[in-house]
Structure 1
Amino acid sequence: MPRNVEIKARVSNLDAVRLRAAQLSNFPEKLIRQRDTFFQCDSGRLKLRFLEGEESQLIFYQRDDQEGPKLSNYHWADIGKPEVLENVLGLAYGVKGTVIKTRYLYLVGQTRVHCDQVEGLGDFAELEVVLRDDQTPEEGEVIAHELMAELGIFKEDVQSCAYMDLILKKNNSS
């Protein structure tokens, strides 16, 4: 099962983080426009990711909501007819909500650096340290913390929950 250690943080200057990530990356920046529809799921999180210009994906993952780095276990399948699947899953499980974002992806070593503009929430940086089979989550945390420092991401800006949860909290407080 694929695993990664993830850190998500609110950022005040996304352009500065993007510039630094581009300097650290050995690959060109990739622009990704995506819409994630989340479904009710008792044992983890289930989302259908619509990717502009690419095949969509159904993603199931398990991750604790906690401060700092989080271990994620995930599985995905490429989807050819996402609208049909979205309807079926919505009828079967119920739709929790939708997250729409523009993502700039950078690859820095074994880490995917996402610089996200999330509709209704603002700007965030997300680090996903993709663990090798022989690596521990603690090793991934060390990599994530080192990269946070290099990117100018501050510990006090780290978020403990997913974008979907932040949107639900915001909507419930309005």
Structure 2
Amino acid sequence: MWQNPARNIEIKARINDVKAIVNKVAELCKTEAEVIDQTDTFFKTENGRLKLREFKNGTGELIYYERPDTDGPKLSNYSKSMVTDPTSLKAVLQMALGTNGIVKKTRTLSRFNQTRIHIDEVVGLGNFLELEVVLQDSQTPADGITTAQLLLEILGIPASDLLSGSYLDCLNLL
């Protein structure tokens, strides 16, 4: 295990009425959302998941995370590193590790207190809500789960719409 990883409670759900969720999130957050185009390339690893996230401006992030594939809110331990040349890094990682797949999405990011609220339009899959409750050192996973469940209730997301895996898992099932 690693020392002092960043932690969040993450939950994903399918969205049936995007406009209604966008309106609820805007009302809740009372700030302008940020729209971000992202391409995530996942690499083969023995443990956890490693992805290179590329942005339109030519920068990126290398992200390693460990998270169970279970229904409902789940603890994710992660570490990120900013990347100024994602194209060459991707080539090196592909040669060294091989890839598991690519996820392309347009993400609308809003923030509410310690939670990042994403409304994602994933190419080939559709529309999703993702909550990331960023935990402070003094908080337990149970604290984050309580926050996530409260936000799901406020946004009107039923338990039947929750996902257990990642977008890549869903794409690989197609």
TM-score normalised according to structure 2 size = 0.95
In the other structure, the counterpart of 2:88 is 84
CA distance in 2 between counterparts of 1:106 and 1:4 reads 16
Contiguous gaps of at least 5 residues in structure 2: none
In the other structure, the counterpart of 1:13 is 17
Q: 1:132 to 1:54 in 2, by over 3 A?
A: farther
Q: Quick one: which of 119, 122, 135 aligns to 1:115? A: 119
Which deviates more from structure 2 when the two are superposed, residues 37-46 or residues 49-58?
Answer: 49-58
1:106 and 2:110 aligned: yes
Q: Quick one: which of 64, 69, 92 aligns to 2:68? A: 64
Q: Contact between 1:26 and 1:107, CA under 8 Å: does it hold in 2?
A: no
Query: Matched residue pairs, number?
Result: 170
In the other structure, the counterpart of 1:153 is 157
Letter in 2 for 1:163: Y
Letter in 1 for 2:64: F
Q: Contact between 1:8 and 1:125, CA under 8 Å: does it hold in 2?
A: yes
Q: Contact between 2:58 and 2:84, CA under 8 Å: does it hold in 1?
A: no
Could you tell me how far 1:55 is from its partner in structure 2? 2.4
Q: Contact between 2:25 and 2:155, CA under 8 Å: does it hold in 1?
A: yes
Identity across matched positions, percent: 45
CA distance in 1 between counterparts of 2:31 and 2:88 reads 35
- In the TM superposition, what are the counterparts of 1:134-145 in structure 2 within 5 Å? 134-145=138-149
1:36-77 residue CA offsets vs partner (Å, 9 max, x unmatched): 000001110000000122621000000000010010000011
Could you tell me how far 1:90 is from its partner in structure 2? 0.4
1:93 and 2:93 aligned: no
TM-score normalised according to structure 1 size = 0.95
Q: Contact between 2:58 and 2:86, CA under 8 Å: does it hold in 1?
A: no
Question: Helix, strand or coil: the match of 2:46?
Answer: coil
1:43 and 2:47 aligned: yes
Q: 1:4 to 1:16 in 2, by over 3 A?
A: same
Could you tell me how far 1:26 is from its partner in structure 2? 4.1
1:118-138 residue CA offsets vs partner (Å, 9 max, x unmatched): 000001000000001111101
Which deviates more from structure 2 when the two are superposed, residues 158-167 or residues 20-29?
Answer: 20-29
In the other structure, the counterpart of 2:173 is 169
In the other structure, the counterpart of 1:131 is 135
Which deviates more from structure 2 when the two are superposed, residues 50-59 or residues 139-148?
Answer: 50-59
Letter in 1 for 2:68: D
CA distance in 2 between counterparts of 1:127 and 1:56 reads 21
Contiguous gaps of at least 5 residues in structure 1: none
Could you tell me how far 1:142 is from its partner in structure 2? 0.5
